[in-house]
Structure 1
């Protein structure tokens, strides 16, 4: 998979490539993660070279990166699972602690392990193009859906007075804003529940909104 497109960066079009990443990209991918997820995000959850090697080996179709000006500025990783409707596993359980050891080659759900874009490119549209490319992967492989947990980085400000489910509802009603939920909604993802103890994430108080995208070319 390899596509060339233009995004808006610093007021002008910037040629960007979205392609599969390889082990040769490991150092650059780790740097993208480091810049995208600063503390208080748990730094022990950033990719290691060994994990990246497993991503590429187990499911290369789900190993995507974005390159602008010859520099990696974003990435997205997915895997396949058998995931029942309403089943909300923790990130660690679903992904084998990021190793993809739980990857099921015949799974009908493409599970989003992570997506990240460096801060200076976050309003360029690269994140949406990575997501769109993963949707195309769902269609290409004939899978039922894409599913993944969305962080709730604004929830800690409201956790004392509302549940995570109520927070999600308030965002959907337009009463609250959440940067990650807003991004996922703009990408066409829809919420199917909330997972507790999903990730050791202080800002989300451990919760995540489970967000899916259904393959529109399959019968419902």
Structure 2
């Protein structure tokens, strides 16, 4: 199972952060983090529920990771394993994650797929999202998988969609001419772009596009 302690920084103050697999005892706090991160009018039925969380720790406990600060859960990241070859990536978030229930988890697959990453707003200045992604990279290496893959929103796209295609928008973000809150964050985490996918999720700001981005296991050669 996964466990590590590191120090993150709150401005110039070091703060101990504990990264570990979450368990049933954490469900209340995990749902609280979702409520804090996605307050109304975000639909309540899209927050994690106990059945989903139970599936996470039952089907793939290695892919269910949270971070604690002073004994309080500040965020979580969840994944499942799928079998997917390069070039076969067209899918929606709902299809690939079983709407977050991960009943399609494949222990014999080759790709760790990110279902969700969530940080409570009070802790976002600590850089925990990048460290949680790093924890998933370590899980990829430990399990001998080929890569980590996941789709990100592109909330900046709607401001430029009148004059740019989705591929042009991505190219400008990668060239540093535009900044997208999610894609730019994932680039800073070490993820590299695969391709944008239409109808990935219902999101007006992204015009329903998702940007698939991967991290290749440097110890595996395809």
Query: RMSD over aligned Cα, in angstroms?
Result: 1.4
What secondary structure is seen at the aligned counterpart in 2 of 1:19? Answer: strand
Gaps (5+ residues) in structure 1? none
How far off is 1:174 after superposition? 0.9
| 1:79 counterpart residue number | 80
Quote the offset at 1:119 in angstroms.
1.7
Matched, 1:124 2:138: no
CA–CA separation in structure 1 for the residues paired with 2:82 and 2:15? 35
Structure 2 vs 1, CA of residues 38 and 206 (structure 1 numbering), >3 Å: closer, same or farther? farther
TM-score normalised per structure 2: 0.94
8 A Cα contact 1:109 1:146, kept in partner: yes
Q: Which segment drifts farther, 176-185 or 91-100?
A: 176-185
Kindly indicate whether the alpha-carbon contact (under 8 Å) linking 1:110 and 1:146 is maintained by their aligned counterparts in 2. yes
The one-character-per-residue Cα deviations of 1:83-129 (angstroms, maximum 9, x if unpaired) are 12122210000011110011111110000001111123223121111
Q: Equivalent residue for 2:150? A: 148
2:64 aligns to what? 63
Q: Distance in 2 between matches of 1:205 and 1:42?
A: 19
How far apart are the structure 1 equivalents of 2:18 and 2:191? 23
Question: Map of 1:64-213 to 2, 5 A cutoff?
Answer: 64-86=65-87, 87-213=89-215
Count the aligned residue pairs.
Answer: 220
SS class of match (1:183): helix
User: How far did residue 31 of structure 1 move?
Assistant: 1.4
Structure 2 gap segments, 5+ residues each = none
Moved more, 142-151 or 193-202: 193-202
Segment of structure 1 superposing worse, 139-148 or 172-181: 172-181
